[in-house]
Amino acid sequence: MDRYIDITLMPDPEFETQQLLNALFSKLHRAMNEAAPGKIGVSFPKVGKRLGDQLRIHGDQESLSALMAMPWLQGMRDYCEVADIMPVPGKVAYRTVRRVQAKSAHNKRMRSIRKGWLTEKQAFERIPETRQKELKLPFIQMKSLSNGNPMRVYIDHGPLSENPSEGEFNSYGLSAQATIPWF
């Protein structure tokens, strides 16, 4: 994980930055597994309440070159600036960038009924909508590749560490174990 590519979204009067980031991330998600499964990570250097206007893609030279040789940015080039593959600076911190999922009250009820733990009436009494855990993390809005339904990928940038941690990245470029360089 010694190289990175910065992709910065340019302001556009027709589209909000978040819409462009959603589209960019969806295209990246589809291409990553083909280029280098498990070897490419992502981060959002300008993260705050929202993920910001910059996507950083992390990997080694071979993985990033394979990704950028693919036409995955087609249709997005007018909306972003894509930097060259660059080496990671010398002294950096590390952090995980992971997906966080919260099960909905509806899904908890359906599972409890399906498993026979609760009747439908009991499930609605014991698992009300108010038990729905609300995540206060920035997210990407995408369409599920499996069923086409809209979904949110909530993203948590973990605490900073002085040491890197090895591991694989999922199809979103996220991992709860593997760290990315943070600078």
Measured torsion, CA atoms of residues 137, 86, 53, 166, in degrees rounded to the nearest 10: -10
Please say whether the dihedral angle defined by the alpha carbons of residues 81, 76, 98 and 165, taken in this order, is positive or negative.
negative
Task: Give the H or E element holding residue 20.
Answer: helix 17-35
Contact at 8 Å (CB) between 40 and 28?
no
Distance CA 164, CA 72 (A): 29
Of the candidates 29, 58, 106, 157, the residue annotated as catalytic is 29
Phi-psi region of 148 (alpha: psi -120 to 50; beta: other; left: phi over 0): left
Q: Is 106 an annotated catalytic residue?
A: no
- Report CA-CA distances (Å) from 83 to 4, 38, 54, 134, 167: 9, 22, 11, 36, 26
Q: Which residues are catalytic?
A: 29
